[in-house]
Chains A and B, each alone.
Chain A
Amino acid sequence: MGFKALGLETFPAASAAEATQVLRRITRDSDEYAILYIEETLAAEMSAEIDKFKDSPTPAIILIPGREGSIGLGQSALKAAVERAVGTNILGD
């Protein structure tokens, strides 16, 4: 809600299903959006949809903690990338 005041466009979604719909709609039509921020709690249930964009340069889908605070999904994306590149987790956590 607060992001709107910063001049970002917001797409409210109550459930992961709804969020998936919105995501499909705004990524299908154009490359208008380069970065999408999604709340972790929503993203947790739609990771398949989000993973589709992992290898394309746009859009960048970034998970941010929701109102309830971080649930560590954003950090796990980092870990997954390291594991993918190195073959093992070398960060040690």
Chain B
Amino acid sequence: MASTAITPTRMVLNQLKGRLKTARRGHKLLKDKRDELMRQFMDVVKLNKQLRIRVEEGLTGAFASLQVASAIMSPEMLEQALLYPRQSVELGMKFKNIMSVNVPQYSFQTKNNDPTEIYPYGFAQTSGELDDALDKLARVFEDMLELAQVEKTMQLLAEEIEKTRRRVNALEYVMIPELESNIKYIAMKLEENENSTKVRLLKVKEMVLQDAHNYQK
């Protein structure tokens, strides 16, 4: 215990009492922060789970179509068809503040707004399966973007929760009990000192009286 290192004086006692008060208030605030983060986190996790499933299903479907397309077309033709994209995506990013955690918010802008513009080739030499595959990919892409946002948010929140939880526990199980025991130690020590002073005074008074009046004996 750290109580051996502290000097049992009234000043230190007051200091410690102040620190205990601050620690208690900090603990309460951090606990509230943790609870709120946790609530947000659970929402994000739920959303993430749904999105993840949707994206994985979508992508699997798209890849299957692509597989079929590559079976029908020659590899050179397929490569040529996809070689040069007509579409391009601009990704914008902002930060949103959730309980002092900065989480990214993405927004994307395609250069061409025409949804048919995703096909970077003429239709004459390619198979319909390729169109199908690209269509599926384009549709799953929006979910993919949202998934990225949600997943990053989730990771960042998880980190913050971990940190906050550790702080709450440190305060609750280390700082506050230690301060309390120190305060108790000082209080007891002061009382002891007071008692001994009192006894000493009584003793001195007796001696002085004896000296002055010489009674007894």
Contacts and interface: CB of A to CB of B under 8 A. Distances in A.
A5 B41 contact: no
A23 interface: no
Contact of B165 (A6, A67, A74, A87): A87
Contact of A81 (B38, B66, B155, B165): B155
Contact of B95 (A1, A6, A35, A57): A57
Nearest to A81: B158
Nearest to B134: A5
Contacts of B45: 78, 81-82, 91
Q: Which range holds the interface residue count of chain B?
A: 35 or more
A74 B59 CA distance: 13
Top 7 closest pairs, chain A to chain B, by CB: A60-B152, A7-B87, A7-B88, A85-B161, A7-B89, A81-B158, A85-B158
A84 B144 contact: no
Interface residues of A, number: 34
Interface string A53-78: 01101101010111101100011011
Interface of A: 1-8, 34-35, 37, 54-55, 57-58, 60, 62, 64-67, 69-70, 74-75, 77-78, 81-82, 84-87, 91
B99 to A, nearest CB: 13
Most A Cβ at <10 Å: residue of B38, B133, B162: B162
A57 B156 contact: yes
B159 A77 contact: no
Given A35-B106, A75-B52, A78-B49, A2 B62 contact: yes
